[in-house]
Amino acid sequence: MARKKVDVDNGEVDLTSMIDVCFLLIAFFIMVTEVSKAEVVEIFLPHATHAVPDEDPPENRLIVNVDREGAVYIRSRSFGKPNDTNTKNEIVTALQGFAENAGFDDGNTSNLTVLVRADAHVEYRFVQCVMVLLTDPKVRVRKVHYSAKNPTSA
């Protein structure tokens, strides 16, 4: 059996590849953090006396934001106001894709859970349009949560 000689005279270790991997991981985590922040549009949430803290949200929950002017945002994409026919079709198509990715149960209802975050000063008709679009026959979302602030805890 032949033995190979290993040169251990200088005792140095090349850490270049380890540093490269660390920088890649840092860049990855920064980008993931920015994407999750982008999902939440800055809005003023309404107060609800009996609001329950959202301590254990579903893993793949979709967040739909409705800003003060009534514009709908899904995954940081702005769709405009949901009472316009073209906008309705775009929102339904986007929601349909998310619903299909989440799958459907035996009752042909989507397994997708949606959190609707609407500004406290938005006209209710825009929130109502979003609610109707979530029940569209192509989407069929039945698990909908609404975001609010509890004035006693805020």
Q: Which residue has the tokens 């209710």?
A: 124
**Mean pLDDT of the 69-80 span:** 88
pLDDT of residue 90: 92
Q: What percent of the chain has pLDDT over 70?
A: 84
pLDDT of residue 28: 85
Domain 62-146's class?
A: alpha beta
pLDDT of residue 133: 92
DSSP letters of 14-27?
Answer: --HHHHHHHHHHHH
What tokens appear for 41 in the block? Answer: 């549009």
**Mean pLDDT of the 3-32 span:** 78
DSSP symbol at 101:
H
User: Mind listing the pLDDT tens digit for each residue in 104-145?
Assistant: 887 788 889 999 999 999 999 999 999 999 999 889 998 898
pLDDT of residue 6: 58
Q: How big is the CA angle at 17 (ends 14 and 21), to the nearest 5 degrees?
A: 145
**Mean pLDDT of the 26-55 span:** 75
For 101, residues 6+ apart whose C-beta sits below 8 A from its C-beta are 112
CB 116 within 8 A of CB 66: yes
pLDDT at 154 over 50: no
**Mean pLDDT of the 35-64 span:** 77
